Chain A
């Protein structure tokens, strides 16, 4: 193996990182290292450094490597491990430890490969298994738990395995299970006389998760090691998991105060401050993190994003809802800010209006919406958060999402994404960020269906397949479907299940009860307890009733899954062969069986296309209207619907369809141009003005019609000076533009 760690030039700066490793509970750890470890675990940095320095001359290479690692000399440690492994193809422990070094430098794939190599040499090595489980756990992958269980079955005394179990339990909200795992870990730590710091840190997190103060555990830790900032970092990790970013920030500040060289805490603090929009402080901590740990891609990417922050423009607009005024801050890329701003602002305002009323909550702070044309920049904002949707994320009052320009038209409906994220703003803030993940996502999905820009209960086939295979989770465990998915698509399925749970609550107990359930989450109540308190029904009974509800609602498709697939296939093949008449009945039957399928292969679309080709335009319109009512929003299909409605003389309905396209395809020049003209003809000058201004902001080659459009809209709105200016701009660009010339002469005539 010729693997080399990537070593940056700043390595000399990391010499002080003697505390970078966590407590090493590996029973195979060399005895010579223990006294040095003890200094380190007690926070006696100088003594630890002196002690480890002496071991650099040890005759045992692995001891040398561990000492170099503990002293922060990653390059030297890497080299010794590399030579050791090279000299002994069957060496297991050096491989496992080398893999741990890779883990610390954020190179998870390489670490996983080395753990895998160790397991190929010795398939039952529990430490390699445990290490691999750690990699999976770090990435929030479902394979982590079975591997830990396997390791524990072989050796029930593995302290680290109990700690990893407890940590995953805590992440998934299984607090009682976490407590049991910690009890087992504590017994072993006491027996082996090992430092209890990690057990205490997780104890503290458990207390906090139960809504109690973690202070007693923090005190015990700091009594043992006054420089153990990791406890605060651990507590912050669980706060971030619950999206409690402000609380996490306070904890992370404390972490770096207690232990200034805890680079991972600096990095997390920087990311967290960025989430809260506190940019300058974020930069300071990210730079500190980079100075000590140049290996973290999260830190590097965040700093790169900050370097380009000037490319974004920030606007603050007040929006008034009844008697209240809220500030909305938009952070949009300069190249598209002028086009997107009116639509983003309008939808944000509408969402605030809708959710304030539906959930009886007034926002307490300005809302910030950020849109990133480059998906990688957006990805930096969501780094380290598990199971977050790929399109948007909400950090309390800050929403970050992909911009429509970052994806091809039709790839995503930015309006629905914003609506979804704005629902999170409310569910998080109503509960002071105590809402469980499943309910926050559930309400967001439910609101997309009920009040969003593409209303309709759209449920994709993978959710139906999961329902069919009985893969829906009990309500009390639904969070784990987001946090540590155990099969492909489980996160997506969990979104749908959560939305359907909210739909079930609305249908069974009424919408108001959804708000009542939401308010149960005060940081002390579990999902099970909240369900019981709200609906006076045990979680098991709730699950049973929900199962009946979804199976009734989707009875048709569940009972005829094979037939639905066959009809879809038959319609698809007929369309491919342009045998339009043969496509109609299979497509119609597929729609009847499963109308909620509005994805790219929707039978609604096939039916509409076939009917249109058969010159049955009015039936084709009915098919596309049904598609739209079910939540379908494909821009191509809706453009077709708009055109057909126009041709059928249903101009106003066509205009509505075209207006809705702005929330899917807002950078389409043709759309803005057409809409501007339509709205102007319909006497909707203000809306027309918005469209022509968007056209102008798109900086199209042919600027004259856009200026001319703005001039006419402003004229209708009584702004003569603005109108004149844009009219003259139109003619300065295109001096022979006849309609503009005619308007100019008319304007002069009116003036004289």
Chain B
């Protein structure tokens, strides 16, 4: 799984749309704040994150902010857009509900296309968001929607669990203290499913993901995970770790073809190397941190 270039920056836009009633209004703001805060921590800079909520999240403001952001980016950067709120679909057009005029799927698609970043991650967590997934697809763009189609119109829960995914270690299933888009998606979808199951209610939303390698987008860095180590010695060790991880992936790919004993022996050999190296990295970084 190839990560994004270390020198490139990640820019995030979070928009919380019209709630329609105070309870939704508040929830949307909270979810947006959590997602924006995680993005800031991951980027290491508040300047890389734009968050529009409440009355500030008008169509004009969304257009303006994305255009401004586009002017600051280059093709090697990556862009993450998160839309939280209510959406609607009339059979032809999807609309993201905002104070004042809404933005249609075509409006939004034009804005995303204006972003020079080749690597784009668009998360549409609204109701009826499934209507846009095919329309927004593009090479090197990953699109995530809370619903499978425009017909799933009920207010969604997806954003709540997406926010949870980036705000805690619950979604970090490989325990590297980094939450990627792939991990957040897996976590949010599994939590939505469990929530409906716990209430023995019929699920009214089924999330979708389109585009390759969602794991290359880092959404949150947990604990003391450093953004980019200054120490060249640590950087070398991390590079070494990357190559061991590739060895590990190769062994895992052989699981079905290898006899069981051999598979576990090979796994052990790689994992012991990785653990020993990690120990060394930790001793250099100090405090048990996990870069």
Which A positions have Cβ atoms within 8 angstroms of B?
405-409, 700-704, 724-725, 728, 731-738, 741-742, 744-745, 748
| B231, CB-defined interface residue at 8 Å | no
> Given A701-B186, A702-B170, A728-B264: A736 and B272 within 8 A (CB)?
no
| B173, CB-defined interface residue at 8 Å | yes
Which residues of chain B (203-244) have a CB below 8 Å from chain A? none
| Most chain B CB neighbours (cut-off 10 Å) among A731, A733, A744, A745 | A731
| Most chain A CB neighbours (cut-off 10 Å) among B175, B177, B198, B248 | B175
User: Which secondary structure dominates chain A's binding surface?
Assistant: helix
A247 to chain B, nearest CB (A): 38
Enumerate chain A residues within 8 angstroms of B271, measured Cβ to Cβ.
728, 731-732, 735, 741, 744
Are A734 and B275 in contact, CB atoms less than 8 angstroms apart? no
Which listed residue, B197, B252, B272, touches A745 by the CB 8 Å rule? B272
Are B198 and A408 in contact, CB atoms less than 8 angstroms apart? yes
The 9 closest A-B pairs by CB, nearest first: A741-B275, A734-B175, A737-B175, A736-B176, A701-B190, A736-B175, A734-B174, A408-B200, A731-B271
Enumerate chain A residues within 8 angstroms of B290, measured Cβ to Cβ.
736, 738
Bound-state CA distance A641–B129 (Å) is 42
Bound-state CA distance A701–B172 (Å) is 10
B203 to chain A, nearest CB (A): 14
Are A725 and B200 in contact, CB atoms less than 8 angstroms apart? no
Chain B, interface size: which category?
Answer: 20 to 34
Q: Smallest CB-CB separation from A375: which chain B residue?
A: B200
| B245, CB-defined interface residue at 8 Å | yes
Are A736 and B278 in contact, CB atoms less than 8 angstroms apart? yes
Are A734 and B173 in contact, CB atoms less than 8 angstroms apart? yes
Sample of 9 further A-B pairs with CB below 8 A, known A701-B187, A735-B245: A409-B198, A701-B186, A703-B173, A728-B271, A732-B252, A734-B174, A735-B248, A741-B278, A745-B272
Bound-state CA distance A277–B272 (Å) is 52
Which listed residue, A406, A724, A732, A745, touches B275 by the CB 8 Å rule? A745
Enumerate chain B residues within 8 angstroms of A728, measured Cβ to Cβ.
264, 267-268, 271
Enumerate chain A residues within 8 angstroms of B274, measured Cβ to Cβ.
731, 735, 741
Q: Smallest CB-CB separation from B271: which chain A residue?
A: A731
Which listed residue, B174, B190, B245, B272, touches A748 by the CB 8 Å rule? B272
B198 to chain A, nearest CB (A): 7
Are B200 and A735 in contact, CB atoms less than 8 angstroms apart? no
Are A735 and B198 in contact, CB atoms less than 8 angstroms apart? no
Which listed residue, B198, B264, B288, touches A724 by the CB 8 Å rule? B264
22 sample A-B contacts, Cβ–Cβ < 8 Å, listed by A number = A407-B200, A408-B199, A409-B198, A701-B173, A701-B187, A728-B267, A731-B267, A731-B274, A731-B275, A732-B248, A732-B267, A733-B174, A734-B173, A734-B175, A734-B176, A735-B174, A735-B176, A735-B245, A735-B271, A744-B271, A745-B276, A748-B272
Enumerate chain B residues within 8 angstroms of A704, measured Cβ to Cβ.
173-175
Are B175 and A738 in contact, CB atoms less than 8 angstroms apart? yes
Enumerate chain A residues within 8 angstroms of B64, measured Cβ to Cβ.
none
Are A733 and B275 in contact, CB atoms less than 8 angstroms apart? no
A636 to chain B, nearest CB (A): 12
Enumerate chain A residues within 8 angstroms of B174, measured Cβ to Cβ.
704, 733-737
Are A744 and B176 in contact, CB atoms less than 8 angstroms apart? no
| B279, CB-defined interface residue at 8 Å | yes
Bound-state CA distance A405–B175 (Å) is 30
B244 to chain A, nearest CB (A): 8
Enumerate chain A residues within 8 angstroms of B279, measured Cβ to Cβ.
741, 745
Q: Smallest CB-CB separation from B290: which chain A residue?
A: A736
Which B positions have Cβ atoms within 8 angstroms of A?
170-171, 173-177, 186-187, 190, 197-200, 245, 248, 252, 264, 267-268, 271-272, 274-276, 278-279, 288, 290
Enumerate chain A residues within 8 angstroms of B175, measured Cβ to Cβ.
704, 734-738
| Most chain B CB neighbours (cut-off 10 Å) among A406, A408, A702 | A702
Enumerate chain A residues within 8 angstroms of B200, measured Cβ to Cβ.
406-408
B272 to chain A, nearest CB (A): 6
Bound-state CA distance A737–B176 (Å) is 7
Bound-state CA distance A51–B186 (Å) is 72
Enumerate chain B residues within 8 angstroms of A744, measured Cβ to Cβ.
268, 271-272, 275
Q: Smallest CB-CB separation from A700: which chain B residue?
A: B190
Are A733 and B248 in contact, CB atoms less than 8 angstroms apart? no
Enumerate chain A residues within 8 angstroms of B267, measured Cβ to Cβ.
728, 731-732
| Most chain B CB neighbours (cut-off 10 Å) among A409, A742, A744 | A744
Enumerate chain A residues within 8 angstroms of B272, measured Cβ to Cβ.
744-745, 748
Bound-state CA distance A733–B255 (Å) is 13
Are A736 and B248 in contact, CB atoms less than 8 angstroms apart? no
> Given A702-B173, A703-B173: A738 and B288 within 8 A (CB)?
yes
Are B173 and A736 in contact, CB atoms less than 8 angstroms apart? no
Bound-state CA distance A742–B199 (Å) is 39
Bound-state CA distance A462–B190 (Å) is 41
Enumerate chain B residues within 8 angstroms of A732, measured Cβ to Cβ.
248, 252, 267, 271
Bound-state CA distance A728–B200 (Å) is 36
B19 to chain A, nearest CB (A): 26
Enumerate chain A residues within 8 angstroms of B278, measured Cβ to Cβ.
736, 738, 741
Enumerate chain B residues within 8 angstroms of A731, measured Cβ to Cβ.
267, 271, 274-275
Bound-state CA distance A703–B278 (Å) is 21
B270 to chain A, nearest CB (A): 9
| Most chain A CB neighbours (cut-off 10 Å) among B170, B174, B197, B276 | B174
Bound-state CA distance A736–B173 (Å) is 10
Q: Smallest CB-CB separation from B183: which chain A residue?
A: A701
| Most chain A CB neighbours (cut-off 10 Å) among B171, B173, B248 | B173
Q: Smallest CB-CB separation from A665: which chain B residue?
A: B198
A664 to chain B, nearest CB (A): 14
Bound-state CA distance A745–B290 (Å) is 17
Enumerate chain B residues within 8 angstroms of A406, measured Cβ to Cβ.
200
Bound-state CA distance A406–B199 (Å) is 10
Bound-state CA distance A725–B176 (Å) is 21
Q: Smallest CB-CB separation from B169: which chain A residue?
A: A702
Enumerate chain A residues within 8 angstroms of B252, measured Cβ to Cβ.
732
Enumerate chain A residues within 8 angstroms of B187, measured Cβ to Cβ.
701
Q: Smallest CB-CB separation from A721: which chain B residue?
A: B264
Enumerate chain B residues within 8 angstroms of A700, measured Cβ to Cβ.
190
Enumerate chain A residues within 8 angstroms of B199, measured Cβ to Cβ.
408
Bound-state CA distance A474–B86 (Å) is 61
Enumerate chain B residues within 8 angstroms of A745, measured Cβ to Cβ.
272, 275-276, 279
Bound-state CA distance A733–B175 (Å) is 9
Bound-state CA distance A454–B126 (Å) is 44
Bound-state CA distance A607–B42 (Å) is 47
B271 to chain A, nearest CB (A): 5
Bound-state CA distance A701–B272 (Å) is 24
Q: Smallest CB-CB separation from B190: which chain A residue?
A: A701
Enumerate chain A residues within 8 angstroms of B186, measured Cβ to Cβ.
701
B281 to chain A, nearest CB (A): 10
| Most chain A CB neighbours (cut-off 10 Å) among B187, B190, B271 | B271
Enumerate chain B residues within 8 angstroms of A408, measured Cβ to Cβ.
198-200
> Given A409-B198, A748-B272: A725 and B264 within 8 A (CB)?
yes
Q: Smallest CB-CB separation from B251: which chain A residue?
A: A732
Bound-state CA distance A744–B200 (Å) is 41
Bound-state CA distance A704–B169 (Å) is 13
Bound-state CA distance A735–B276 (Å) is 12
A405 to chain B, nearest CB (A): 8
Bound-state CA distance A406–B198 (Å) is 10
Bound-state CA distance A137–B133 (Å) is 57
Bound-state CA distance A748–B279 (Å) is 15
A377 to chain B, nearest CB (A): 15
Enumerate chain B residues within 8 angstroms of A737, measured Cβ to Cβ.
174-175
| Most chain B CB neighbours (cut-off 10 Å) among A406, A703, A735 | A735
Enumerate chain B residues within 8 angstroms of A736, measured Cβ to Cβ.
174-177, 278, 290
Enumerate chain A residues within 8 angstroms of B173, measured Cβ to Cβ.
701-704, 733-734
Bound-state CA distance A736–B179 (Å) is 13
Bound-state CA distance A737–B271 (Å) is 11
B79 to chain A, nearest CB (A): 27
Enumerate chain B residues within 8 angstroms of A702, measured Cβ to Cβ.
170, 173
Bound-state CA distance A725–B177 (Å) is 24
Enumerate chain B residues within 8 angstroms of A405, measured Cβ to Cβ.
197
